Amino acid sequence: MSEKNVKDLGFQTRAVHTGNGVDGETGAIKRPITMANSYELPYDPSDLNWSSAGKNLYTRNGGSNQQYLQEKVASLEGGEDCVVLASGVAALSGLFFALLKSGDHVIFSSVTYIAVYRLLNELLNNKFGVETTIVDTSDPENVRKAIRPNTKLIHIETPGNPTLTISDIKAIADIAHENNALLSVDNTFASPYNQRPVELGADFSIESLTKYIHGDAMGGAIIGKKEYLDIIRAQSQINLGATISPFNAWLIMRGAVTLPLRMKQHNENALKVAKYLKTVKGVSFVAYPGLKDHPNHDIAKKQMTNGFGGVLSFGLKADHDTYNRFVSHLNVITSAVSLGHDESLIVFLGENDERQYLYPEEFHNGFFRFSVGIEDAEDIIADLEQAFKKENLL
């Protein structure tokens, strides 16, 4: 397929074709993986800028597999440009380090990936003098109240890890822009199949490519306007060294092809499992934005256009030991961190999380975060059912 026609096509077609092309040298219908770290210089290299990300020069400056993946992810997220980096955390820190300086103020969601809390509240705040305010961004008015004259960035995560808290992207983008601030949204839990923050008005969407986009290889992405991304690309790759390996970029490129197909199954399975869990007597609560009783279900429905993702959290009417025994009975579902993978993964998040006071009350006595995989929903539910039975929780 000729590349110039791809832009206007549907999501699945772009997942297949964007960033791919026929290899000029061999005629192969897939672009090859290029594992070289260095590229041939022109006749007179004296004018080259060694800190430039524009030309293939050295893999830390940029390479072909990175560029192909950037094209694909930018297209899926509906953004002008994209930079792909070594991990989701490299993307978050790349964004923060490039945009913020001492004296700037950042507002961020009370429920975020743990590294966001460490980076903003501890590292950038304590070591570099960046002011930070943590707010419950599920109510946009809390964001408005926290704005200061020096607010530079608002960072939200929706759905938030691990409570599945939903924040209204469009409403918060408006508040940010009325106050000359920028909005970044961690879109990892939704994936671009379900939610595209840049189209909703955010300045940046952040993805851990490690999760839904691929599941095996590590990577991260920042999607947004070229004027910012050129700066972020140069700083985070060339000067901070968070470059993704060509091999990981190539693997993630292959994974992204089936993202829409997998997301359909994740969305369907998670909704089925959430509804099942609601019927179990020993379950104390179920947090999933697709359930009508989720406190922000209406906003989730508005901004997550294809489904609500594969992650949910739930609690047991049981003690700490029962949680661990319950997991030991599972056969189809694996006890492991991470999420968005093909296989169902469950993790017990105990009572000792230092940020617990920031979570809704039902999360305070320990709970499960459950990443529902793409197995048959009946098998996942049967696996849960036999484990509930063994602990007399049915």
Between 152 and 211, name the residue whose CB sits nearer to ligand PLP: 211
Question: Of the candidates 159, 254, 243, 173, which has an alpha carbon nearest to the alpha carbon of residue 213?
Answer: 254
Distance CA 250, CA 91 (A): 18
Question: What residue is closest to ligand PLP based on CB?
Answer: 88
Q: Report, in Å, the least distance between residue 59 CB and ligand PLP.
A: 19
Of 128, 113, 139, 271, the closest CA to residue 206 belongs to 113
> Among 96, 108, 113, 288, which residue sits at the site for ligand PLP (rule: CB under 6 A)?
113
What is the DSSP secondary-structure string of 72-126? Answer: HHHHHHT-SEEEEESSHHHHHHHHHHHH--TT-EEEEESS--HHHHIIIIIIIII
**Closest approach of Cβ 2 to ligand PLP, in Å?**
33
218 near ligand PLP, rule: CB under 6 A: yes
**Interface residue with ligand PLP, options 77, 81, 131, 157 (CB under 6 A):** 157
Inter-axis angle of helices 259-278 and 246-257, nearest 10 = 70
Closest CA to 88 of 111, 119, 55: 119
Print the binding letters for residues 164-193 with ligand PLP: x by CB under 6 A, - otherwise: ----------------------x-xx----
310 binds ligand PLP (CB under 6 A): no
Say whether residue 88 binds ligand PLP (CB under 6 A).
Answer: yes
- List, in order, residues 6 or more apart from 37 with CB less than 8 Å away: 58, 59
Q: Which of 210, 248, 267, 313 is in the footprint of ligand PLP by CB under 6 A?
A: 210
Q: Terminus-to-terminus CA distance in the chain, angstroms?
A: 54
Length of the chain measured in residues = 394
Site for ligand PLP in 278-297 (CB under 6 A): none
From candidates 220, 255, 307, 310, binder to ligand PLP by CB under 6 A: 220
Nearer to ligand PLP, 157 or 383 (CB): 157
Distances, alpha carbon 59 to alpha carbons 53, 219, 249, in Å? 10, 15, 12
The residue assigned the tokens 């049915």 is 394
> Which range in 20-28, 82-90, 301-309, 347-355 contacts ligand PLP by CB under 6 A?
82-90
In angstroms, give the least distance from the CB of 218 to ligand PLP.
Answer: 5
Binding stretches for ligand PLP (CB under 6 A): 87-89, 113, 157, 161, 186, 188-189, 208, 210-211, 218, 220
